[in-house]
Structure 1
């Protein structure tokens, strides 16, 4: 958009960050009739943040009860958006949750939350698993369940639709406009590379750039940005894995996940959630001589468990996670300026919750109580001492 000088308009809400969380917040605020501005530092669409790519998991299976409490409304929210736009955004595949460590705490907790919330799932033995999916090779004992309602979101389409709906409801979207400074107060002033804007409520959803905006506001959080390599392995027989489920297997210090061959027909998508390569988000693709630990693990995993795939990845794409020490999200307001809501540290699991978390953040910034208990995900769990304000 063209540059903007200082404006006399006072927005009801300004959202910083055009990823899935920020776009979800902007969409919800505009839909409720609030005069809303969405600011994104890069020109849209782009692949610089954490919300790009063809697919993201949507699931019921969570070890954390506070996430499980939200899943039914998350599903309903995406259903409503599909209905409103006459668009398909989800594909139900089911999701296998595996763990070779008998009665591992994470697996037991996941199963318990499904039971508690009366969400459908199926227990499987290793033998039942491999009989049902003969192109998966697992031996010995595995704890295994199938989250029968899980699947994936068509991520790029989801993000684009939220932004289009935001504009349809009267929202203003300024991309290619970086926030340079924030002046808190009853009326917040947001300075950008092209001008300045005023608002009564501010939502900060800046993804990997969260710390850059929060530190000048006196909020120091233990956020780290990790580079993630997403690998696509070619099927030896085309479409042989197209009707397979999503799979998540806790391995070593992280977990391997995979998607059926949908993003690129004939290629299965794998990732290793392993926090090993911290990066500066502005230099994510800078050349490095570090060994690609996650890629090495994925190649080994595919050779062992997926005999119908080539053992070398044909396509490698990069993404970023912004993680907290416990890999749980942060949703809160500024400790002093409560009209500034903060959403960050989504640790690779925030996409499917974008519209719902966006609604929570918008409500917080507008002074409304959240619909869900957010005590477990407030940022004060990291604050041993008061923020430097």
Structure 2
């Protein structure tokens, strides 16, 4: 039986990143995906994800700044353009049950020296007349916000992992990971296609994480839900090009977000954390007409366009940890097993996230501050991104 330095379970964007960076560091890597590569059952498919340094929490801002450097190095290594910088706005309405104010948001930007502009509704309308922003809304603009190409990023990480010698096995379900007896070290990985051995194992299995943790005596409180995004055809696509229209987030009692045209003459928008709870086995892949109507009504107010048309709605899967906290940590009882969970807001961090997982597996340490990203024990939920 071949012995590997690092085994990665799950080849979404985080697992693919971990496989690449571990192989790049010279480790002998094997990685497993229970479905086909590039599948649509998780949270790493489709076209676009928001990238930004702006965040409520200083630790995430700091990690995002590192991620931007990793994105640049990844693009250079792959000779691929993965990011499109558009600038981005976050709207903070003064309304009942609003989770936070603009001042809460900018504190973490100030802490990390991230430049931003604080705009009133008139300034927003003058700069982007596509928006109809109410007067009681404060807006934070960051110039470094943009878009990552989702599926291209995942395939790029997988290709680079293979170039550096990693073995990627799709259609291979990991049924159990078994730490070897104390003193011998390493982990046995039982799969649908045989057994493998590795010194360290990285679990990046998202909604399926507890199936592998349960036999190890560990449980992470994860809430799983089916989310959806909708692509709309605007009446004048030219007005919504990435050079004329920003990425946007509405941080109200309900959180919404959207994109300019990207690769096609459509704009994309969605509600965040719509609470359509399920398990992966229960998932229908059928979108909710009620959520679509809710989104369409919201867009009519924020981005008026009488002849805008709905083109298609795509579903994805959210796996929410307590307070949407990342998990980047070895198991205390089994330190050779490392968990990586992105809590449905990790794509913007993906290269840094994967690199840190690889550093923990290969070097046993990382210089990034992951002190807040341990194994959670309580179940609360927050929609702050």
Task: Tell whether the structures are fold-level matches, with TM greater than 0.5.
Answer: yes
1:112 aligns with 2:107: yes
Aligned to 1:307: 304
SS of structure 1 residue aligned to 2:365: coil
In structure 1, the partner of 2:367 is: 371
1:239 aligns to what? 238
Gaps of 5+ in 2: 380-385
Of stretches 223-232 and 310-319 in structure 1, the one that deviates more from structure 2 is 310-319
* Match of residue 196 from structure 2: 197
Partner of 2:161: 166
What displacement does 1:72 show? 1.8
Question: Is the 8 Å Cα contact of residues 339 and 364 (structure 1) preserved in structure 2?
Answer: no
**Counterpart residue number, 1:20:** 13
Deviation at 1:109, TM superposition (A): 2.8
Equivalent residues of 2:38, 2:154 under 8 A apart: no
Displacement of 1:381 in angstroms is 4.9
Q: Is this contact kept in 2: 1:63–1:107, CA < 8 A?
A: no
Q: 1:359 to 1:296 in 2, by over 3 A?
A: same
SS of 2:261's partner is strand
Q: Secondary structure, in 3 states, of the residue corresponding to 1:201?
A: strand
The CA distance in 2 between the partners of 1:84 and 1:286, in whole Å, is: 35
Name the CA shift for 1:198/1:340 in 2 (closer, same or farther; >3 Å): same
The residue that corresponds to 2:382 in the other structure is none
Provide the residue aligned with 1:180 in structure 2: 175
* 1:29-48 → structure 2 map (5 Å cutoff): 29-48=22-41
Cα offset for 1:313? 2.5
Partner of 2:84: 91
Aligned residue number for residue 276 of structure 1: 275
The Cα of 1:73 is off from its aligned counterpart by 1.4
Structure 2 residue 335 is matched with structure 1 residue 342: no
- CA–CA distance in structure 1, aligned partners of residues 306 and 324 of structure 2: 31
> Using the alignment, how far apart are the partners of 1:273 and 1:357 within structure 2?
22
Shift of 1:261: 1.4
> Equivalent residue of 1:332, what SS?
strand
Pair 1:164–1:130, CA change in 2 (3 A):
same
Contact kept? 2:102, 2:140, Cα under 8 Å:
no
Contact 1:299 1:311 in 2 (8 A): no
Displacement, 1:98?
Answer: 0.6
The whole-number CA distance in structure 2 between the counterparts of 1:255 and 1:130 is 20
Calculate the TM-score normalised by the size of structure 1: 0.91
- Provide the residue aligned with 2:292 in structure 1: 295
- Paired residue for 2:383? none
Residue number in structure 2 paired with 1:220:
219
Q: TM-score w.r.t. structure 2 length? A: 0.92
2:76 counterpart of 1:76:
no
1:316 paired to 2:308? no
